[in-house]
A and B are shown apart, each in its own frame.
Chain A
């Protein structure tokens, strides 16, 4: 121990993980809530692996997966489409945003086996370095990123946001539900707020999204 801090004393406070009486302590073992020991030890009911058919970026894929595999990990680890990012694995950051049957979702919050027959579009399906989608090109032009890790999710969201407004889907900041929906900075900010960018490229992304919208209009 450091001589600068000589006052610590050992106190025999045993924390025994996993006993029924120590449920609270158990929860802190990994820092997240978990099932009780007994539940874990119980054999799983039914099959633990399944086959699922997805259409990813227009290509049919059949995967045999551990049921616990998220859609995100099915893409990243099994199909090896690593453009979709894992920032938190808990639905907190938006890095894993993809579209499923045209709607954006956090793919880390969804099990792959729930998507039988679904059409998934990932960043790789939107464009390539040689042939970028207008949103991708606008992000490059306006420097709508820095480290790039949130970027595929931002781009998937940005395209979906314009489509959602176009489709008349309201948001928290939509003032008039009866009037035709407008692409405004406030609407974009609100709808993009599920995608965190720690590099803080938000205002550059805004410029990119507005430019793409302007080009569409």
Chain B
């Protein structure tokens, strides 16, 4: 199905199942421990061996020698795979650093060997017996701040240049020129990367893995090993969190495949938790200079955002200026992005790449600017709203209700009663502050296919290689098919994550929900056409599907009867047409936060948070809300605690486990409220829906930071807002 014009009224509009809060259909499996994650699939292949990886102890250089003799002789060891025994393996285009092969070291904990043994204990013990000798290269260092000055002398990449920024900024009545930093962050999903691989014959590879993008994973394995797609099978039905770190093939799959190729047996590999932060990817550290100029009335006249991030050579770093070209109005604009090459582990996508860290800076800047103008920060944002691309006014937002988010949020939160004077409201030992911020995240959708199989018993099965990384895909796909076929959700079985199924959009970039449900819709439309044909009616849209029956004219037939001779199968793909390129598709949020900061210790508690979201039609309010509150939790982490600490001497992240890299726990999370505006975006998909999985994280950290300032009167521009940064500037007890 080609989606070539805005959606008009269609069967998905009935909203009998879609749009209703629906508990996850995979919930009973997840809550009883019966949902199978990658490492747990004892049943898929007999005689599984266990692989344990070894990571490089240097950041940059090469291996001079690797002595594995003791490891090979250790009890239970079946094979030792060494990077030095092979040329560098191929690389999927989205990976920046090759995952294995050859003596070159490009980052710390790069995989350099795998010990395959009968048991985990034996493999782990033997790995510790490997002796490695390195030649370490001198590099330009790992300290972004120290390299900033030199980097500023290089030409950056201009993302947007409109009008004459420098002049407008120089002439503006009120200006702000500040620099903000965001640290490197780790996805820290709860399920470590894990794969069971079985290599058979000359090049048939099956992997049971944990990956967000099944088709990319197939392609990645083909690129790494020079295989044909027909010979690679990937299965990833349950994924214990990804947040971007499981978008592409990673070392677990490559190592497991190598181990299986070597031993002829299935091999399973999980990355040890302490290896994940440095072996895999992270969100890049950024330094962002923001300049805003405005008239006395608050109208922005000039906006400049100069972002800088670290990356492996050839990588993409963190595009922290992503939102700035279009989020606020202003006739003069200069937006620049700079990459600083560094041999830290690979910087790559983490939940809302770009906007998450960009808004951490921009939305503090907006708060500071509002203060300089003596304006309510809600009002300041509202008057600088834009309905078109400020750099290309011909290009409008398909739907943008940001101002409504702001207004509703202010109303519901009780913004009028906020603390107005920074550092002035106190409850006992606690300083109380209120803050807000805007949220923005693009809403892409992309080609996605599905197959629907109507069963003789009147139930339906949906198959697509889409993944559910906690996003609720199983359930919204079931809801879509149920809506389209007039069934209850309990009459739809959804099968995901298998590369033998039609290729979906996969889970990433907030495109999964909108794309995969549109693909399911397309397949269901096709199934409805086939049913219409069988009923002798050319016009499928004249059919009414309800309660397991289909009605045409005055005839009502149960679906069981229609499929009584055997299942009816329909498969289709949604393709998104060019007409959408005339628009910007995006999602918006307004975040409001109340914090309490302890006047003695500087400890910060987020007491209350509210997000008002504009994300098109919400398919399942229950799981959509969970996505948003989950993003908000991650935003509290970004604001208050998360930081991959760089050992700038040796070039690695020092706090590379869940004890050192702190993420929010139960004690950090208090009241959370989410409101979805009742909007539809007909330009987005036939279901008029947009993604919401990343929006919750966008802007929230700045809202916390602004509330922290409002509580303490101390403005911190370096995330995270740990208590050491505020302790000596707090008011007297």
A40-B128, A146-B626, A155-B31 as given contacts; A11 in contact with B136, CB under 8 Å: yes
Residue A53, interface by CB 8 Å: no
- From B36, B40, B133, B670, A17 is in contact (CB under 8 Å) with B133
CB of B60 within 8 A of CB of A84, answer no
Residue A200, interface by CB 8 Å: yes
CA distance A145 to B239 in the complex (A): 13
A82-B36, A201-B626, A203-B672 as given contacts; A140 in contact with B57, CB under 8 Å: no
CB of B659 within 8 A of CB of A140, answer no
Residue B506, interface by CB 8 Å: no
CA distance A29 to B129 in the complex (A): 10
Chain B interfacial residues counted at CB < 8 A: 95
Residue B156, interface by CB 8 Å: no
A31-B274, A92-B659 as given contacts; A124 in contact with B240, CB under 8 Å: no
CB of B134 within 8 A of CB of A147, answer no
A88-B658, A202-B633 as given contacts; A123 in contact with B33, CB under 8 Å: yes
Write out the residue numbers on chain B whose beta carbons fall within 8 Å of the beta carbon of A123.
31-33
A8-B139, A18-B131, A30-B54 as given contacts; A147 in contact with B239, CB under 8 Å: yes
Contacting residues of chain A (64-90) with chain B, CB-CB under 8 angstroms: 66, 68-69, 73, 76-77, 80-90
- From A10, A92, A122, B657 is in contact (CB under 8 Å) with A92
CB of A14 within 8 A of CB of B134, answer yes
Write out the residue numbers on chain B whose beta carbons fall within 8 Å of the beta carbon of A130.
28
| Smallest Cβ-Cβ distance to B243: which chain A residue | A198
- From A77, A82, A192, A198, B33 is in contact (CB under 8 Å) with A82
Residue B511, interface by CB 8 Å: no
Residue B23, interface by CB 8 Å: yes
Residue from B37, B54, B238, B270 with most neighbouring chain A CB atoms (10 Å):
B37
| Smallest Cβ-Cβ distance to B21: which chain A residue | A143
| Smallest Cβ-Cβ distance to A2: which chain B residue | B313
CA distance A92 to B27 in the complex (A): 25
CA distance A190 to B472 in the complex (A): 28
CA distance A196 to B657 in the complex (A): 13
Residue B634, interface by CB 8 Å: yes
CA distance A33 to B614 in the complex (A): 49
Write out the residue numbers on chain B whose beta carbons fall within 8 Å of the beta carbon of A66.
119, 121-122
CA distance A73 to B123 in the complex (A): 14
| Smallest Cβ-Cβ distance to A69: which chain B residue | B121
CB of B240 within 8 A of CB of A147, answer yes
| Smallest Cβ-Cβ distance to A87: which chain B residue | B190
Write out the residue numbers on chain A whose beta carbons fall within 8 Å of the beta carbon of B64.
14
- From A5, A73, A90, A192, B120 is in contact (CB under 8 Å) with A73
Residue B378, interface by CB 8 Å: no
Residue B138, interface by CB 8 Å: yes
A30-B54, A195-B666 as given contacts; A8 in contact with B140, CB under 8 Å: yes
Interface string of B681-698 (1 = CB under 8 A from A): 000000000000000000
Write out the residue numbers on chain B whose beta carbons fall within 8 Å of the beta carbon of A198.
187-190, 241, 243, 634, 663
CB of B274 within 8 A of CB of A32, answer yes
Residue A34, interface by CB 8 Å: yes
Write out the residue numbers on chain A whose beta carbons fall within 8 Å of the beta carbon of B270.
86
CB of B109 within 8 A of CB of A204, answer no
Least Cβ distance of A110 to chain B in Å?
15
CB of B133 within 8 A of CB of A15, answer yes
Contacting residues of chain A (7-49) with chain B, CB-CB under 8 angstroms: 7-18, 25, 28-32, 34, 40-41
Residue A216, interface by CB 8 Å: no
A34-B128, A93-B190, A129-B32 as given contacts; A200 in contact with B633, CB under 8 Å: yes
CB of B629 within 8 A of CB of A200, answer yes
Write out the residue numbers on chain B whose beta carbons fall within 8 Å of the beta carbon of A202.
633, 664-666, 668-669
Write out the residue numbers on chain B whose beta carbons fall within 8 Å of the beta carbon of A85.
33, 37, 190-191, 240
- From A15, A77, A149, A189, B666 is in contact (CB under 8 Å) with A189
A8-B60, A83-B32, A129-B34 as given contacts; A95 in contact with B190, CB under 8 Å: yes
Write out the residue numbers on chain B whose beta carbons fall within 8 Å of the beta carbon of A34.
128
Residue B192, interface by CB 8 Å: yes
| Smallest Cβ-Cβ distance to B119: which chain A residue | A66
Residue A151, interface by CB 8 Å: yes
CA distance A123 to B629 in the complex (A): 26
CB of B658 within 8 A of CB of A92, answer yes
CA distance A148 to B120 in the complex (A): 24
Give the dominant DSSP class at A's interface.
loop
CA distance A205 to B241 in the complex (A): 17
- From A29, A136, A189, A204, B132 is in contact (CB under 8 Å) with A29
A88-B657, A132-B28, A140-B31 as given contacts; A146 in contact with B57, CB under 8 Å: no
CA distance A8 to B343 in the complex (A): 11
CA distance A8 to B140 in the complex (A): 7
Least Cβ distance of A202 to chain B in Å?
4
Residue B589, interface by CB 8 Å: no
Contacting residues of chain A (108-155) with chain B, CB-CB under 8 angstroms: 122-124, 126-130, 132, 136-137, 139-141, 143, 145-152, 155
Contacting residues of chain B (80-130) with chain A, CB-CB under 8 angstroms: 109, 119-122, 125, 127-130
CB of B622 within 8 A of CB of A147, answer no
Write out the residue numbers on chain A whose beta carbons fall within 8 Å of the beta carbon of B659.
90, 92
| Smallest Cβ-Cβ distance to B242: which chain A residue | A147
| Smallest Cβ-Cβ distance to B632: which chain A residue | A200
CA distance A29 to B274 in the complex (A): 12
Interface string of B465-506 (1 = CB under 8 A from A): 000011110000000000000000000000000000000000
Residue B42, interface by CB 8 Å: yes
CA distance A32 to B131 in the complex (A): 15
Least Cβ distance of A83 to chain B in Å?
2
| Smallest Cβ-Cβ distance to A148: which chain B residue | B30
| Smallest Cβ-Cβ distance to B627: which chain A residue | A146
A87-B192, A198-B189 as given contacts; A31 in contact with B33, CB under 8 Å: no
CB of B658 within 8 A of CB of A25, answer no
Write out the residue numbers on chain B whose beta carbons fall within 8 Å of the beta carbon of A16.
131, 133
A82-B33, A90-B659, A92-B273 as given contacts; A200 in contact with B630, CB under 8 Å: yes
Residue from A93, A141, A145, A199 with most neighbouring chain B CB atoms (10 Å):
A199
Interface string of B131-151 (1 = CB under 8 A from A): 111111111100000000000
Write out the residue numbers on chain B whose beta carbons fall within 8 Å of the beta carbon of A167.
none
CA distance A101 to B706 in the complex (A): 48
Write out the residue numbers on chain A whose beta carbons fall within 8 Å of the beta carbon of B626.
143, 146, 199, 201, 204
| Smallest Cβ-Cβ distance to B33: which chain A residue | A83
Residue A197, interface by CB 8 Å: yes
Least Cβ distance of B55 to chain A in Å?
6
Residue B656, interface by CB 8 Å: yes
Interface string of B370-401 (1 = CB under 8 A from A): 00000000000000000000000000000000
Residue B671, interface by CB 8 Å: yes
Residue from B33, B129, B313 with most neighbouring chain A CB atoms (10 Å):
B33
Write out the residue numbers on chain B whose beta carbons fall within 8 Å of the beta carbon of A178.
none
Write out the residue numbers on chain B whose beta carbons fall within 8 Å of the beta carbon of A13.
135-136
- From A41, A83, A140, B23 is in contact (CB under 8 Å) with A140
- From B40, B187, B238, B664, A148 is in contact (CB under 8 Å) with B238
- From A7, A17, A87, A132, B32 is in contact (CB under 8 Å) with A132
Can you list 11 A-B pairs, Cβ within 8 angstroms, ordered by A? A8-B138, A29-B54, A87-B190, A88-B657, A145-B27, A145-B470, A147-B191, A148-B30, A151-B31, A195-B665, A196-B658
The 8 closest A-B pairs by CB, nearest first: A83-B33, A200-B633, A149-B240, A147-B470, A148-B30, A146-B470, A2-B313, A200-B630
